[in-house]
Structure 1
Amino acid sequence: MKIRPLGDRVVIKKIEVEETTKSGIVLPGTAKEKPQEAEIVAVGPGGVVDGKEITMEVKVGDRVLFSKYAGNEVKIDGTEYTILRQDDILAIIE
């Protein structure tokens, strides 16, 4: 199945953080923070959203940092994705 977001939305796949700390301590599931790093899977066309012209500054394959509780999580073909607005992306990781 292929996802095609609308407007200024992007589809991301979260990159899971390591399960152990640098000193080798294994973290239980409740101690881990939600990941804030992701890879962009699909990008909407941009265009006019709420009366403003939006140009998409991200592209498929970019690694990004996003707001901690942003977007809506969906599960498609057993894989979890998050759909969020471009405004919720904080930075592109280069």
Structure 2
Amino acid sequence: MAALKRLIPSLNRVLVEKIVPPSKTNTGILLPEKTSKLNSGKVIAVGPGARDKNGNLIPVAFKEGDHVLLPEYGGIEVKLSDKELR
């Protein structure tokens, strides 16, 4: 987790940890892989925001702890300490 604290997004970028849905229920029923198509994640870190032409700071719309949907092929995938981040 200490390695995650060192990753600080710049400008208006967001670091998201992908949420992997469980493959089995609490009672032991196996779920098919097709149900796990939803790409969602939890925001780990947020950059300070971007600046407009006048130099005013435009804050990022997300905050740490928010749950977001991820595009299937969007973002840059990073693997850090067995966690999949985008």
Q: Spell out structure 1 runs of 4+ moving beyond 4 A.
A: none
Q: Using the alignment, how far apart are the partners of 2:8 and 2:78 within structure 1? A: 13
Q: How many residues align?
A: 76
Q: Within the alignment, does 1:5 sit opposite 2:6 as a pair?
A: no
What TM-score, normalized by structure 2, do the two folds share? 0.68
Alignment RMSD: 2.6
Is the strand fraction higher in 1 or 2?
A: 1
Q: Within the alignment, does 1:36 sit opposite 2:39 as a pair?
A: yes
* Gap regions ≥5 residues in structure 1: 83-94
Is the helix fraction higher in 1 or 2?
A: 2
Q: Within the alignment, does 1:54 sit opposite 2:55 as a pair?
A: no
What TM-score, normalized by structure 1, do the two folds share? 0.63
- Residue in 2 that maps onto 1:27: 32
Percent of residue pairs identical = 30
* Gap regions ≥5 residues in structure 2: none
The higher radius of gyration belongs to 2
